[in-house]
Amino acid sequence: MSMNVNNNVLSSVEECERQLAKLLGRDCCVWTGNGTSALYLAYKLCPDQRPKILLPALMCVQPMLAVYYAGRIPVFCDVREEDATIDPNAVDEMLKNDRDIGAVLAVHLYGNAADVERLKAICKKHDVFLIEDLAQALGGRYTDGSSFGSKGDFSVVSFGYSKILDAGDGGGFITDDASIARRARDWERRIPEQTKNSQILQDDFKKLYYMVTELGQKDPKFFQMFDQFPDLFQSLFLYQRIDGAAAHTLSLLDTLEGEVARRIKMQDLYLRELQGISSVQFFCAQSGVPWRFTFRVDANRRDELLQYVRSIGFDISSWYPSITEWTPTGRLQGREQFPIANKLEQEVVNLWVDPSYDEAKVQLLTKQIKEFLLTGRVIEP
């Protein structure tokens, strides 16, 4: 009986790996506990003698935490104003000046396509690895029709909370190189299992995260408290693959195409309804697949808008911050190196496109936002 259960678990994992590799047009996939653990494998497989990993300044904290877990050193590059993805010109400059960098992380942030063709040429010129992070962009396609995740040396996917397909957990490390995949599998087996107190730790993480972020905005010195985060929260972010997550993900993969189309339709609706407001700017790269509908609002109105939208019962967020001050190496580089990330963090707004939002709800929400931004008045709900 127990052998059967184990066989079923194994076959779900294997089938999920096979389908994910096929989806991205790649040869090998190693199923992982989550996207962070997949990134950990990617960094581990970069050359030891070039330990720095070049990250975009504006992104979520997990890809940076994974750098520490892999025993590497994070360094940062600014992002492009038009799509908030890592700036290839800045990458080229950094790689010219620092031979200790062994890999570049291209995050398809918000589902926007990073300029992977240019990044690939730059990485090849400097002989470093290119890692594609499509945790927020599964199902996105480049203008040439190929899938996000099909061009980097390694690619990383996630099926965690709020991702394009949300199975609650699970991730994948993807490559065309079978010997690299074997080594990734060996490293994956050595990752600790998830601990039992993860919900409590998650709550502690949230509390501390928001506290330090708020204090850091008053005085950047407080960001130094983030230096403790990799160590304090390792068990929350780095863990072995979990039985069941692969089977759940498999059951969702068939819905990907429909989900991408539905999200694009929601994005088009937001775009149409929020046109013509002078305090609003859109990112150019509305290709790919929207993680949330992300746009910019003048910094002097952004926080009021967040407050107002929450007060009338809708979801809204302002992801992501510029995280360079959260590491000793980023602080050494200096905040002034990242003018675009520093500007965007004051302006970004994300609205929901997941299945809890339909056309009627988007229309109701955008009407309120328009009224608020155009007149400063609020409509009685």
Ligand X SMILES: Cc1ncc(COP(=O)(O)O)c(C=O)c1O
**Where does this chain bind ligand X (CB under 6 A)?**
34-36, 59-60, 62-63, 107, 133, 135-136, 158, 160, 171
CA–CA dist 275, 42 (Å, integer): 40
Smallest distance from ligand X to CB 52, Å: 19
Q: Which is nearer to ligand X, 76 or 372 (CB)?
A: 76
Q: Which is nearer to ligand X, 160 or 216 (CB)?
A: 160
Q: Which is nearer to ligand X, 140 or 171 (CB)?
A: 171
CA–CA dist 197, 270 (Å, integer): 39
Q: Which is nearer to ligand X, 317 or 368 (CB)?
A: 317
Residue type, 205: F
CA–CA dist 279, 147 (Å, integer): 34
Token reading at 259: 């989900």
DSSP code, position 375: H
C-alpha 226, offset from chain centre:
19
Q: Which is nearer to ligand X, 86 or 101 (CB)?
A: 86
Smallest distance from ligand X to CB 235, Å: 13
Which residue of this chain has its Cβ atom nearest to ligand X in the complex? Answer: 35
Q: For the chain, how long is the longest CA-to-CA vector?
A: 67
Q: Which is nearer to ligand X, 62 or 366 (CB)?
A: 62
In 3D, which of 45, 97, 38 has the Cα closest to residue 71? 45
CA–CA dist 75, 260 (Å, integer): 33
DSSP code, position 86: B
Smallest distance from ligand X to CB 33, Å: 8
Smallest distance from ligand X to CB 348, Å: 14
Smallest distance from ligand X to CB 311, Å: 26
Q: Look at residue 36 and give its three-state secondary structure.
A: helix
Residue type, 7: N
Half-sphere exposure (Cβ direction) of 57: Cα atoms closer than 13 Å: 29
Smallest distance from ligand X to CB 108, Å: 8
